[in-house]
Chains A and B, each alone.
Chain A
Amino acid sequence: MSPLEFEILLIALVVGAACALPGCFLVLRRMSMLTDAISHTVLLGIVLAFLVVSQYDHPLLVFGAAGVGILTVVLIELLSRTRLIKEDAAIGITFPALFSLGVLLISLLARDAHLDEHTVFQGDLVYAVFERFRIGGLSLGPLALWKLAAILALNATLIILFFKELKISTFDPDLAFALGFAPALMHYGLVAMTSVTAVGAFDAVGSILVIGFMIVPPVTASLLTDSLSRMLWLAIGIGILSASLGFWIATMVDASIGGAMTLAMAGIFGAALLAAPRKGLVAATLRRRRQRLSFAIRMLSIHLYQHLEAGPEGDENRVDHLQVHLAWPVPFANRILRMSQEQGLVKIEDETWMQLTEQGENLARSSLTA
């Protein structure tokens, strides 16, 4: 691996970690699509700030982006508060309008600038390493790496400092308000953090990959755990893992690094979706099947218990009566019968009559009184 490649990978790892931090809170607060909106409208902030300072690398650009990010959220909230349109429609109208304004300003006023909506939109890690951070004559590595490391440090510090406040205002905003934790401040602080992260990351990796890194690792992590701090660590880990895996894929097949990272992310998400211990699709299907069987076994004991007075050779106790009375297909009925026998709940006489054991009676009674 050449030093340049190593730097590219390092930038991607930092992006992965920096995006996962606000991402967890955004996903839990159901602001995923708001993130999509913010990461697009920051373009307008960059353009406006650029028109003021005429400089591509100026701190004001970050403030412009953060300001427009907050403006986006405020506008969306104002629109949905009129109750004339719903929140999702407000998002769907506001961000294209602000983004259009940004694109229009670029093409009318900043045509020859180093700004172009396609670069902003798609980004390219390969170009991110060309701009170096220099002090005096000394080159200290790519500028993007320093910028993103600073953003990662800022995000981590803020989340550690305000962890309790963020946590309460995410899960119970009313309680947070009652305790004096200013949930609104947390909300807009998070929005500002998201905007700054988006603007720092998207000229390196493109805005869609920013959305990917902000949403997919936290969503994946939420499939694996119910604890917030564990979710944060997992999301960072998944972000870093998909960045490294993606980088490896991209060098193997000579493809877009950002695209390959998303591919890796998709693979990890797919694996978690299928195989997550409790919330995965496989686990959920197995659980449903188990519940269906145990319910049917209980059902059989209750059925026989209700018909005890029919006597050991009553019609209700015939094996083939299960198709009539409980509408069970033959294979299912046989299976339940076999399982009930194995568990010692039911005995079968002459292959025709079912008889409840004492254990089966107990199960039926406890089911009925529960």
Chain B
Amino acid sequence: MAKVLMKGCEAIGEAAIRAGCRNFFGYPITPQTEVPEYLAKRFPEVGGVYIQAESEVASINMLYGGAGTGKRVLTSSSSPGISLMAEGVSYIAASHLPVVMVNIVRAGPGLGGILPAQSDYLQATKGLGHGDYRLVVLAPSSVQEAVDLMYQAFDLADKYLTPVMVMGDGMIGQMMEPVEMPEMRDLDDLPAKEWAVTGARGRKPNIVNSLYLSEVACNENNWKLKKKYDEIIKTEKRWETYDCDDDMDLLIVAYGTMARICKTAADELAGENLKLGVFRPITLWPYPYEALEQTAAKANRILVVEMSTGQMVEDVQLAMLGKKQIDFYGLTGGMVPSPDDVADQVRKLLK
């Protein structure tokens, strides 16, 4: 397949279609509005249904309804809209339904700004909403990776009957890069869903529910969820290491587009005889703690770089349990550290 130059948001929309999604419910919000706009134009060509909901609250509930019928459904939003979806995600997780959500993160908190940020890490990895559940979070660092992760997200969601979030930032959403699209999934090829609401013809009614007034039943549902998450933790961690084969003076830990910037900084500093490596988690939940610890064993110290005031740094501290010195550098509010900014920070720490 030839490569096409596509904007991140549009590529994400097309990837969803390739993965078999024909139903989108969402609301415009900068910087992800191009996702609904692209799908509004493209869905009629593939027999999909695009609904512009009245709010993000309505969007996530439409997603819940659609997911219960067994179809592959998608929503997309940005930080403040994701906050509105929190309750709905809790319901979706508790009801064991598969959905895919996209968060194109913008500066916060509150109304914040429309430029990129990475300030939703804690929101996403701690599940978003109330109750004892987790959200699978995938963080691409390029438009191509966003396409690949979107394609896999639908399979992950269906496999574990759980919500999956693909979390990019405004840069992923807005920049154009060459991408190669996967093949269109055959909708008839998708696995059957016996639990779905399809009309109680010749069977007992299927009920999509998360209400358990009996404490015994509610406890049981919680442990059923936990068992699922333990399985995901065991099998679905993903990460990437850059230049981490030998001993390092400093290991940078970053994700998403920030990791790409840090790789450039690492290359720059290699010229000054500073040995740097970059550890990039791809699944933010489940977080690759063990892989990070093993990689960091070869480094003298760690620098965590995020477009926030420090959120993933807590998971890095958890991974290391005090074994290495951990420092943090971040800019947020829509400011993006440049490779020079990162390199300067490293120089400050190492000199």
B is a partner of A: no
